């Protein structure tokens, strides 16, 4: 493990950036995010540690652990550590890391590969990579321009990547042009989709949604949603975990297809008579 550095981090999105940082975070000035009314605010890993931030780890099912930061930091995402006999995948990246977090994840087998569903979830990915023997960070090439802090451990792929047996990454587009989902083989042998908010489980059980911007309520078109659904139609998965704690415990593949059809009908005006 390498010593942690004092990375500069955007307080609003939680993504690490270059040093010195730009005047404003490009991720937050994009229409999918926001800059607070008080303006841009940068922080550092050491400052966040002094404020009492910590990583909380909870088991979601055998071999799958949810990671989130308390107190809430950045977007407040839930990230996942998926264990396999060949290595562990960190899918979506916490915006914080400290020695206690490294020790806790090391006890679970460490991190052998890192991937984020989209740029909002990059977190402090280079810090996590450095802490675990330069674990490769797999980024969809279509979103390469959104990487705010460069490093030699970032590897690019275009449509698909298999970090190691039992894990796969697939580009779907939509929320970002390079948005991806992860597929992990659960302990029971069934496929589990780690969807980020590329495909987002919602409050109603068995439903998902698709958005260009969740905080700003910008929709995607019917054609794009159908394309996303088609891109995962041949994948084998039964369960789904999103990046804000919601999940589908069974029938997730069917939920994606039926939800996409319903969404496409509404945004294309097929049910305008009900409004």
- Tell me the average pLDDT across 54-71: 98
Q: Is residue 139 part of a domain?
A: yes
User: Rounded mean pLDDT of 222-226?
Assistant: 98
Mean pLDDT across the chain, nearest whole number? 97
- Residue 3 belongs to a domain: no
Give pLDDT, residue 4: 84
Chain-centroid distance of CA 246 in Å reads 13
Query: Number of folded domains in the chain?
Result: 1
Please check the confidence at residue 2 and state whether its pLDDT lies above 80.
no
**Mean pLDDT on 232-251:** 97
The H or E element spanning position 183 is strand 180-185
Does the model's pTM come out above 0.95?
yes
The pLDDT of residue 252 is above 70? yes
- 135-165: pLDDT as tens digits: 999 999 999 999 999 999 999 999 999 999 9
* CATH number of domain containing 260: 3.60.15.10
- In a domain, residue 189? The reply is yes
Confirm if 181 and 91 have CB atoms less than 8 A apart.
no
The parent domain of residue 77 ranges over 8-274
* pLDDT band of 47, cuts 50, 70, 90: very high
* 167-183 per-position pLDDT tens digit: 999 999 999 999 999 99
Residues with Cβ within 8 Å of 189's Cβ and at least 6 positions away in sequence, in order, are none
pLDDT digits (tens, 9 = 90+) for 14-28: 999 999 999 999 999
Say if 147 falls within a structural domain: yes
Question: What mean pLDDT is predicted for residues 36-64?
Answer: 97
Residue 120 to residue 240: CA distance in whole angstroms: 19
Query: What angle is formed at CA 57 by the lines to CA 13 and CA 33, rounded to 5 degrees?
Result: 15
**Residue 68 pLDDT exceeds 60:** yes
**Does residue 1 lie in a domain region?**
no
What would the two tokens of residue 74 be?
A: 């950045």
Q: Residue 1: its pLDDT value, please?
A: 45
Asked whether the predicted pLDDT for residue 3 surpasses 80, the reply is no
Contact 270, 263 (CB under 8 A): no
Residue 94: pLDDT over 90: yes
Residue 240 confidence (pLDDT): 98
Q: What is the pLDDT of residue 205?
A: 94
Question: Is 245 a member of any domain?
Answer: yes
Q: Distance between CA 40 and CA 44 in Å, rounded?
A: 14
């Amino acid at each position: 493990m390498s010593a942690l550095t004092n990375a500069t981090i955007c307080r609003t999105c939680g993504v690490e950036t270059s040093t010195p940082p730009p005047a404003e975070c490009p991720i937050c000035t994009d229409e999918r995010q926001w800059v607070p009314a008080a303006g841009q605010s940068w922080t550092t890993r050491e400052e966040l540690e002094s404020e009492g931030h910590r990583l909380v780890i909870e088991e979601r099912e055998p071999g799958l652990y949810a990671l989130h930061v308390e107190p809430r930091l950045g977007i407040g995402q839930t990230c996942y550590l998926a264990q396999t006999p060949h290595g562990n995948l960190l899918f979506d990246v916490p915006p914080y890391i400290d020695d206690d977090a490294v020790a806790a994840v090391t006890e679970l087998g460490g991190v052998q590969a890192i991937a984020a569903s989209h740029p909002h979830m990059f977190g402090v990915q280079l810090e996590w990579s450095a802490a675990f023997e330069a674990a490769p960070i797999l980024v969809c090439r279509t979103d390469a321009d959104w990487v705010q802090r460069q490093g030699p451990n970032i590897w690019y792929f275009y449509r698909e990547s298999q970090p190691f047996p039992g894990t796969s990454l697939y580009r779907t587009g939509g929320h970002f042009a390079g948005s991806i989902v992860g597929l992990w083989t659960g302990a029971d042998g069934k496929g589990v989709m780690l969807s980020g908010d590329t495909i987002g489980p919602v409050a109603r059980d068995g439903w998902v949604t698709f958005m260009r911007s969740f905080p700003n309520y910008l929709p995607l078109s019917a054609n794009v949603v159908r394309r996303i659904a088609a891109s995962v139609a041949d994948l084998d998965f039964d369960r789904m975990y999103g990046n804000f704690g919601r999940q589908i415990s069974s029938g997730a593949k069917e939920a994606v297809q039926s939800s996409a059809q319903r969404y496409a009908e509404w945004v294309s005006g097929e049910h305008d008579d009900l409004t």
